[in-house]
Amino acid sequence: MLRWVRQQLGFDPPHQSDTRTIYIANRFPQHGHYVPQKFADNRIISSKYTVWNFVPKNLFEQFRRVANFYFLIIFLVQLMIDTPTSPITSGLPLFFVITVTAIKQGYEDWLRHKADNEVNGAPVYVVRSGGLVKTRSKNIRVGDIVRVAKDETFPVDLVLLSSDRVDGSCHVTTASLDGETNLKTHVAVPETAVLQSVANLDKLVAVIECQQPEADLYRFVGRITVSQQAEEIVRPLGPESLLLRGARLKNTKEIFGVAVYTGMETKMALNYKSKSQKRSAVEKSMNSFLIIYLIILLFEAILSTILKYAWQAEEKWDEPWYNEKTEHERNSSKILRFISDFLAFLVLYNFIIPISLYVTVEMQKFLGSFFIGWDLDLYHEETNQRAQVNTSDLNEELGQVEYVFTDKTGTLTENEMQFRECSINGIKYQEVNGKLTPEGFSEDSPDGNRRGLVKEEELFLKAVCLCHTVQINADQTDGADGPWHANGITSPLEYYASSPDEKALVEAASRVGVVFTGISGDSMEVKSLGKPERYKLLHVLEFDPNRRRMSVIVESPSGEKLLFTKGAESSILPRSKSGEIDKTRIHVDEFALKGLRTLCVAYRRFTPEEYQEIGKRLHEARTALQQREERLADVFNFIERDLELLGATGVEDKLQEKVQETIEALRLAGIKVWVLTGDKHETAVSVSLSCGHFHRTMNILELVQHKSDSTCAEQLRQLAKRIKEDHVIQHGLVVDGTSLSLALREHEKLFMEVCKNCSAVLCCRMAPLQKAKVVRLLKTSPEKPITLAIGDGANDVSMIQEAHVGIGIMGKEGRQAVRNSDYAIARFKFLSKLLFVHGHFYYIRIATLVQYFFYKNVCFITPQFLYQFFCLFSQQTLYDSVYLTLYNICFTSLPVLIYSLFEQHVHPHVLQSKPVLYRDISKNAHLGFKPFLYWTILGFFHAFVFFYGSYLLMGEDTSLLGNGQMALETHFWTWINHFVTWGSIVFYFIFSLFYGGIIWPFLHTQDMYFVFVQLLSSGSAWFAIILIVVACLFIDVVKKVLYRHLQPTSTEKAQLTEAGSGINCLDSMCCFSDGETACTSVRRMLERLMGRCSPARVNRCGISLNSLCCRRFSYKLEPDEPAAIDV
């Protein structure tokens, strides 16, 4: 128990060594001095709290907030010294805010506990005592042999021991981990693959040594030592042997595996990565405003204390006849009295700090984020995917973006590859009617009379068919000899691949006569023009981003050992010693200029001696527990040399719909777009031109292929000079990965100067970490611009996490980008609606919310300060304590919350069709110092008007004015706005009548008894209320009218244009029938309440209207909209 406590507190980490030793079936050595390692149990814990620590931990987290901690201090001061207001005035609002937040967080954590219990209690089968034992998932220990059946999810990270197949292989899908739906093949080592029964497995004596847990899903280093007949056999274990928790078994009846990582040490649990806290610009402004108001508060308290003692310098005011001091007060220390008075004034004015600001902002962000998921225009019908919000803390940041960093493949393009051209032995070919046709060679003969493949062509196609990781649908593998066309060139097989490039190439090869028909055991089967051939797969040299290539070593039917390799031309051509290298390089450049993705293909023949040396080196590197990756990289480089070039391929990846329009809209909005891609220079430039990132009239500057600091610096200086000379022309910059590394090493400032003067920047041949580095470079520059990164693959995760706002595309390269993003959308074109409409609305709403909170508290508490001049600074309170308590909680909270959820100062259509309106809110325009100063001065002005107006005419409260100002700010009125705005004022009157009309037995004083009734029975009081409210709001109305006519912003001009257009359909409130969520009922209720959802808009998205809850609607159409539909 003590050890467990120490581990929880972090004093006693469970692992001390770099590796862990696992005895299969927990058969530990019998000698007495062996001490087994301690491992975590298999419980998954995603919750933050327990029954015991919820209260202290939650309170600690909440009081870390400045405002909460401040009000706690004020509350404690009220308890300790004699203050003018009751402790309830601070304690009750604080208790309300803390309680609401705790209930919300507690409920969320209860849901996590519920989910955890469901997972941890799932039934599993474990091999123990010679038989299968049914137990709960949480009871699995490291070393247990676990049985998993078809379509079940792996409960722990397992090393595969055997399956129902003779070769010990199985197929799994990791869709729930990385989104890849293709089947992955995992294999057991030969010594355990034959142990297919429980009885045989129970006799297994083996030890696994492997690395300690780490989050990388694709990395595993280990080895297994199997004891057979007094002999120990050592086999390497890699990612192909590891079955990950959360993955699902497919096309395999059952498997047995040994648990190596359990519970929170599984790779899935380690990937429950709490994202780094991103703070929005609004939150930073809010904290700055809080500090300024704290300074105002301290100034007022100090000034009041000084004035009190200045006033009391006259003896008649120091101790008036009606308030004589006690003996203790006369003899007390002056310093202590000064401090006590200062604290009393601090308590009196403390409501200038808005306690409910944080909780209101949290509610606004949380509730407001649902509108993104509900937006029909962000719903992709083909894939049935809607927009996702992974964090609601950055909603308003979508309205502040200045730089967009985007990936190319799968983000700007569809990531649907189609084979277009290839180069074989220096000759270019195209696919025509299922045939490889040399360039310039026209052949219209039917398929039956087609020419055969020449030797070079056949070898090239075999290399394409053997060097890949493509899988075949298991239902078809047995029927590979099924129906064929007479010419043997059409394959009925269905291929699966994690890389769309590989799938396109294998499918193209099958169409022209060389068909990959599957893997059987350790053999790859190929049909060349209908003739089956079997190649023994000896080794796979996996792809990695540093080598930028992958290879396989196979044994041909004739017994020859061959290496086939494919990869980027920059990694293949320098390693090739023969073949048509120069011609192929020219062809690769031509392919790239057409926007095609290129790969080079090469091979090498091994002598028996060479292969023996290679096998030995590979075994040593793969069984190493330390620095395995580095050793393997050295061996791979040793093997992949002296290549004979076979040719190159060109695959087309078509652009996504409306990419060009979206990039142009971003440019009009003042947002600079940078494309960061791993593609080669020519391909990237071609795609940039086709998608509108580069214009044909743009002067394209290049910083590429530099090998030294000096040449790179000289080129940068020339580019900077050229930009200065041609400042009228728009410039685009192309930079490659190697030149970028040099530029950032010594010449970062000069590089940034060149980049900022370019309208568009294209970075090609980029590694994932280089992408993140570029984002960080802009993000930390002196201007501190707001950055957004968007991508679809695992290689984009680093830049998505680095940017202020990260957006994942739900593409074909897995779900890692989506899981690590702040927002996720299905297509790049949705970015315009996300920024120009949702971002614009969220920013305007929260900017007004934050400033209104400070404004209304200044209005509320300044009269308290002014009143002290009339009561000799005796710390007498102006307001009844109940009104102090309820002002922020009840009287003024709902109108601003509803405003911040539903306000639309301009119609969504107008915002999206006029991207230039985005410039009006850029650079935190509505939360800068000038708007803040205006709202603060407005608050003080209103406070002076109604204090002195009330002093001259009558007594007055500020709730009427606060809600009146909110009504003045609202442009988009729904019945909910009317209800809460006017309802709050009505509630104030009803409450005052009720509170002052009854003698409450639990109140020791009741200063407001019958006061309000008497006040409202006077006609002059009503006249004074109306006069003061109008006088306060009149100045703001005049200011708004003058500014709109003399200096209107683009947004205000758009509002005037919109006023006569008759638009009244709320797009963001429409719902869709497919993929409905648990919030559907709430959404439909809101639609009915708002009365703004038109089926005509729904029909434009191609969604069935039968499922919608709307009745008969119509609205005035815009010129470009279809006719209204009656439902």
| Amino acid present at 740 | L
Is residue 148 within 8 Å of 254, Cβ to Cβ? yes
Q: How far apart are the first and last CA of the chain?
A: 66
Tell me the sheet residues that pair with 699: 731
How far apart CA 302 and CA 146 sit, in angstroms, is 71
How far apart CA 520 and CA 530 sit, in angstroms, is 18
Tokens coding 275: 């994202």
Instruction: Name the maximum alpha-carbon separation found in the chain.
Output: 124
Instruction: Please give the DSSP secondary-structure letter assigned to residue 891.
Output: I
How far apart CA 988 and CA 994 sit, in angstroms, is 10
CA angle 210, 213, 218 (to 5 degrees): 85
How far apart CA 609 and CA 605 sit, in angstroms, is 12
| Amino acid present at 210 | C
How far apart CA 743 and CA 737 sit, in angstroms, is 10
Tell me the DSSP string of 419-483.
Answer: EEEEEETTEEEEEETTEEEETT------GGGPPPPPHHHHHHHHHHHHSS--EE-HHHHTTTTS-
Torsions phi, psi of 1019, nearest 5?
-65, -35
Tell me the sheet residues that pair with 327: none
Q: Residue 1044 contacts by C-beta under 8 Å, 6 or more apart in sequence?
A: 1052, 1056
Give me the torsion for CA of 362, 367, 371, 373, rounded to 10°: 90
HEC sequence for 829-889:
CHHHHHHHHHHHHHHHHHHHHHHHHHHHHHHHHHHHHHHHHHCCCCCCCCCCHHHHHHHHH
Task: Pick the catalytic residue from 377, 407, 501, 792.
Answer: 407
Torsions phi, psi of 189, nearest 5?
-70, 150
Give me the torsion for CA of 121, 125, 126, 127, rounded to 10°: 160
Tokens coding 132: 């299968």
Edge-first strand listing for the sheet containing 19-23: 19-23, 206-211, 222-228, 231-237
Tokens coding 754: 């060149």
Q: Residue 847 contacts by C-beta under 8 Å, 6 or more apart in sequence?
A: 282, 396, 926, 927, 931
Torsions phi, psi of 577, nearest 5?
-110, -15
Is residue 750 within 8 Å of 780, Cβ to Cβ? no
How far apart CA 4 and CA 14 sit, in angstroms, is 9
Torsions phi, psi of 528, nearest 5?
-105, 105
Active site residue 407: yes
Total residue count of the chain as it appears in this document: 1127
User: Which residues are known catalytic residues?
Assistant: 407
